[in-house]
Structure 1
Amino acid sequence: MTTTTTSPADADRALKAKHRALWALGDYPAVATEVIADLGPTLVTASAITPGDRVLDVAAGSGNAAIPAALAGAQVVASDLCPELLDVGRRAAGVAGATLEWREADAEALPFANGQFDAVLSCVGAMFAPHHRATADELVRVCRPGGTIGLISWTPAGFIGQMFATMKPYAPPPPPGAQPPPLWGDEAHVRALLGDRVTQFTAQRRMLRVTRFATPEAFRDFFKTAYGPTIATYAFNGDDPRRIADLDRDLADLARRHDLGGGAMDWEYLLVTARRVSAG
């Protein structure tokens, strides 16, 4: 009898392949353009991007922050693990008249030189890489001394953080060592990740007003067909109609609790900006 073991490198490749497939599910670009479109320009403005800046957007998806940065005159590289999202971004950039580079890349092992960029941004993207310390190390490494790191992440207590909490009982267990994405929306967690490698650290809790969904059920039905993590959670329960019905109910109830009237909701996020400390 022979046994096989999986090396850490093989396990990591398998995990990243799973993440790549997850974000190719559904229609995340529709989420980016129809629901959270304001976040990218907000991050670009908060990070004070100016013409000529060398900017890296990490886990850029279809370019929610990368395209506004390019339209502001920056020299932008949009990187993401999922090539399908990059393809959508290329087309969107062409329509918008934005010129930028699109690169397939892992947020935990970026293929860029130390200090290559004046600003390193991520808009609800890098937070989904499974290993937070490795991701933070890369964000800092590729930012030049004195450069800007700008992040927008969903908070644990906000709507999307609560959506993940709602889905957790229905979802498969996370891979060993993977950390919950909404931790990036906790100021203390981000401060600890970046540590003394940055200065001028600021963190603001803000609200995104979402008016895309007329009813709680409309939110649920949109996310169960467009948003990769939600699609994957439903698929995990695909042979159990009772659990599917319970998940349908719980997601609609979540949206109902956050309804401000007329279908409007406020989704909390954390906006972080910091400067990488100068050498010496």
Structure 2
Amino acid sequence: MSPTTTVQTTTTVREDTVTIDTPLTQASADRALKQRHRAMWALGDYPAVVRDVISELGPVLVDACGIRPGERVLDVAAGDGNVAIPAALRGAHVVAGDLTPELVEAGTRRAGAAGAQVDWRVEDAEALPHPDAAFDVVTSCVGVMFAPHHQQAADELLRVTRPGGRIGLLSWTPEGFIGQMFAVMRPYALPPPPGAQPPPLWGRPEHVLELLGDRVEDVVATRRALRVGAFGTGQAFRDFFKACYGPTIVTYRHIAGDPERVAALDAELVALAERHDLGGGAMEFEYLVLTARRAGG
């Protein structure tokens, strides 16, 4: 398949608890990994990243999925509601789940301020607490791509989508700015645990189609670019992501005791931004929108 270009508020919060057992069995190691992911995304100010940088992406995915009033929608790894809130404002019945309680709390506040009815829950994209075929539409916007076990996450997306229902995914591409930012940070970061896969792979249609297999049909994959003008200089970009974006914060904490490596990463991130500068500090962040219909409907 070659990608085809097409171009009264109530909110419920439910939280699952996660414990870490000892000694470290495979299951307890996985729980420890999820705890680290929760902590990472709670660092900094991810809602500021959404508000100041990527707010346009949620409505893009809502439009791509054609979400309609009355449909049952699950937004996976929902952050603070970049997809869930516009979907709810269209009249859909929306459940929004995220692994990080702090983001669920932020989403609850944001939905309330917007007058959007969203059922917020703390939940794991790799073990969704929903019945089979429970939703008409399942979405994730630069969210599920960060689940460490790609096949497990993809299987869950499919399981909770009804036959004939739609799946919509928006992911950073490996070749785009954010994918390249992760490539720059990789030598400075903790090595990934065994079995974890790089998030930007979700930005390759062939990878997503391998995960979904013949369980989907009517696939449309489109590469697009988000124009970002929030940063006047490479230094401004770097400093914002150092302060607000969990993965960048964790990477810098890992090398905090080595000033030379900190300075080297500082310089590499500025150089990356300058290479992508379109003039006046504007940049483009490439992403993939992939929609599909679950087979069997």
Matched, 1:27 2:45: yes
Distance 1:255 1:26 in 2: 20
Aligned alpha-carbon RMSD (Å): 0.8
Q: 1:237: which partner in 2?
A: 255
Matched, 1:45 2:51: no
Distance 1:148 1:33 in 2: 27
- Does the residue aligned with 2:251 lie in a helix, a strand or coil? helix
Distance 1:29 1:72 in 2: 22
* Runs of at least 5 residues in structure 1 that lack an aligned partner in the other structure: none
Letter in 1 for 2:156: E
TM-score, length-normalised on structure 1?
Answer: 0.98
Q: 1:91: which partner in 2?
A: 109
Matched, 1:258 2:242: no
Q: 1:117: which partner in 2?
A: 135
Letter in 1 for 2:243: T
Distance 2:74 2:93 in 1: 9
What's the offset of the Cα at 1:112? 0.3
Alignment of 1:17-166 (within 5 A): 17-166=35-184
Moved over 6 A (4+): none
TM-score, length-normalised on structure 2?
Answer: 0.92
Q: 1:12 aligns with which of 30, 54, 72?
A: 30
Deviations 1:146-197 (A, max 9, x none): 0000000000000000000000010010011100000000110001001100
Matched, 1:225 2:225: no
- Does the residue aligned with 1:200 lie in a helix, a strand or coil? strand
* Runs of at least 5 residues in structure 2 that lack an aligned partner in the other structure: 1-21
What's the offset of the Cα at 1:245? 0.5
Distance 2:291 2:44 in 1: 31
Q: 1:192: which partner in 2?
A: 210
Distance 1:126 1:68 in 2: 19
Letter in 2 for 1:142: V
Deviations 1:51-86 (A, max 9, x none): 001000000010010001001110000000001001
- Between the two proteins, the alignment pairs up a number of residues equal to 276
**Percent identical across equivalent pairs?**
66
What's the offset of the Cα at 1:5? 4.8
Q: 2:11: which partner in 1?
A: none
Matched, 1:273 2:287: no
Q: 2:187: which partner in 1?
A: 169
What's the offset of the Cα at 1:232? 0.2
